[in-house]
Amino acid sequence: MSELLNTLMQDARVWQGHRHNKTTQPAELTGYQVLDNQLGGIGWPRGALSECLLDAPGIGELTLLIPLMQRLSQAGKTVFWLNPPHTPYAPALAREDINLDQVIMIHTKNKGDFLWTLENCLRSPVTGLVMAWPGKLAASEIRRLQLAAEAGSNVCVLFRERHYTEQNSPAALRLELEPDDQQGLKVNVVKRRGSWPGQHCSLAMTHRAGLFHREAPSVVQGPWPTSAR
């Protein structure tokens, strides 16, 4: 029993209020040094859920994932977009050197289909990143997704409404996002595994815009035409 408890503490899955434990869990750097510094040099956790909490889409939230999408897609890993509010704009993604062959967008018809699809994406060995817009989730459903994320050991980011900040969540990382006065993005760390929350930073986002396009069909897989600008 003591060995199990020691392992959990070393992996920062048991939080001790009087001390900071640097997690040994695998992770992917965000690509933004100022944000990585606020996250203890770790970035997006793999094999765990991350949440981005915001009032409305289109404030620059997708730019947080651009470096990771670029890195994983170029490595041949699939990037899934599940129920995005709008279609990803292929020319903008291509300009960021994202391999469109590795980008798949899926729209589901109901919550049951959404959970089934997300779980299977998370468990698939071809997956590098899953970005999902789930709407309302029960605590039991989030735990179910967390188990799928652990099984797949990839990165999963859920974009959720900001009022869910008050809801308890097993997500390893929770970021509250707000636009700032300089057309950038304010990032507040609500929760991160193995350490205290409360860190914050601002990121410049003016050079990365227009990543969403029009309303989306059900399933779209790249490559998409990139001649339009």
Q: Note whether residue 3 is domain-resident.
A: no
Give how many domains the chain has, as a whole number: 1
CATH code, domain with 140:
3.40.50.300
Which of 54, 53, 81, 86 shows the shortest CA–CA distance to 69?
81
Residue 229: inside a domain: no
Q: What is the pLDDT along the chain (229 residues), one digit of tens a residue?
A: 556 545 544 444 444 444 444 556 789 999 999 999 988 888 999 999 999 999 999 888 999 999 999 999 999 999 999 999 988 888 889 999 999 999 999 999 999 999 999 999 999 999 999 999 998 898 889 989 999 999 999 999 999 999 999 888 889 999 999 998 767 899 999 998 766 767 888 887 754 446 665 444 444 455 444 443 3
User: 12 in a domain, yes or no?
Assistant: no
Specify if 18 maps to a domain. no
Secondary structure letter of residue 212 according to DSSP = B
Domain range for 149 is: 26-221
In a domain, 7, yes or no: no
Q: Is residue 78 part of a domain?
A: yes
